[in-house]
Amino acid sequence: MNNFKLTILGSSGALPAYGRFPSSQYLIVQNRHFLIDSGEGAQMQLALYNVGIHKINHIFISHLHGDHYLGLTGLLFSMHLQRRESDLHLYSFRGLDEILMAQLKHSKSVLNFKIIFHPLTEEKIETIFEDEALSVVTIPLDHKIHTAGFLFREKPKSLRIDKAKLKEGMLLQHIVQLKKGEDVVDEKGEMLYRSSDFTRPPKPAFSYAYCSDTQPSEKVIEQIRNVDLLYHEATFLEDEKEKARETKHSTAAEAARVAKQAQVKRLIIGHFSARYKDLTPVLEEAKKIFPETSLAREGETFELND
C-alpha cells in the first residue's frame, strides 16, 4: 500500500450536481485512515470505492455549512449498526457536538462506540493530532463562518538499512541504532559499525494541505508554502469574481495564484458551483497560471510516491 494516498469522495459546492457529491475526502498516511469533511452521501461514496468505514478513526470537519457535514450522522449510525466498538475522534468547531447530541437524543439512540470530540479554536493555528509518523495542524481560512483547513505533514523518516551490506553476527539492536543514525561501538568505545556504511537516505516526508471554503489569504499562502499537494476550493470562474467575494469563495484563477505564490508542487481544485456542468473551463483557467493543476473528481486518487 502506498504510504500517502488521497481519494476524492465529493467535489461539488453547496449543491450536488451532475454526479458530483458535496465535499468529502479520504486520506491514508502510513496506514492511518482519515476522513476530511463528510458531505451528504459520504458513506455511499466510501462504499462505492471499497473503503472500510471502520478503518477511519479520525474525522476532520472544516466548518458547519451543511455541504461539509450533513453526511456525518448517517455514517456514524452505519458504524453503530455494524457494531463498531473502537473510539472515533471528531475534530470540528463547537456546535457540531450539539447537533449530534440532539439527533441522538431525539432518536433515542446510544452509539456502541465512543466519540471523542476535539473542538477547534477559532482563527488559530494549532496542532490537533500528532503521533510518531505525522502531525495535523489547522489552517485558519477566510470564509463566512469560522472555517479551518488542515495541514497533514509527515515527520522526517528513519534512515534505510542497506540489507546487502549487513554482516553476519550483527544484532538487531545494532541495526536499530544504525537506522537511527547512531554508530555502534563496543564496551571499550571502539567502532564496530559506522551508520553511514550500512544505511541509505530516508524516504521523503510528504505534506498535504486541505483548504476548504475560503477566499484567497496571504496568511494561508505562508502556512502552506512548499507543500507537496494542495487542495484549494475553486467555486467560480474569474468572470464571477464579484460573486466569489460576496460569498467568500475563490475562483479557479485565484486558487492557482495561491498555489503559485506558495510554491506548492501540485494543486487540486474542487468545490465546483452547480452552474458549471462542464469543468473544462475551470481547469483551463487554473492551468494557465499553475500548470500542475488537476480537477477533484469523484473516485480520483492522488498518490505521493517515494
Residues 173 and 298 in one domain: no
The reply to whether 148 and 172 lie within a common domain is: no
What radius of gyration do the chain's Cα atoms show?
22
The reported pTM is 0.91
Query: Do 147 and 169 reside in the same domain of the chain?
Result: no
Whether residues 195 and 224 fall in one domain: no
Provide the pLDDT for residue 49: 96
251 and 187 belong to one structural domain: no
In the chain, the largest separation of any two C-alpha atoms, in whole Å, equals 75
End-to-end Cα, the chain, rounded Å: 12
- Answer yes or no: do 173 and 210 share one domain: no
Counts for the chain of helices (H) and strands (E), in that order: 9, 18
Q: Residue 255: exposed, middle, or buried by beta-carbon count in 10 A (0-12, 13-18, 19+)? A: buried
Domain match, 274 and 230 both: yes
pLDDT at 1: 42
Tell me which residues are annotated as active site.
67
Q: Which residues, in sequence order, are bridge partners of residue 27? A: 6, 34
**211 and 96 in a common domain:** yes
Q: Which of 221, 219, 176 is nearest to 195 (CA)?
A: 176
Report CA 158 to chain centroid distance, whole Å: 23
For the chain (306 residues), the mean pLDDT of every run of 10, in chain order, is 86 96 98 97 97 96 98 97 97 97 95 97 97 97 98 92 84 86 85 85 94 96 98 98 97 98 98 98 98 98 90
Domain that holds residue 246: 4-157+203-303
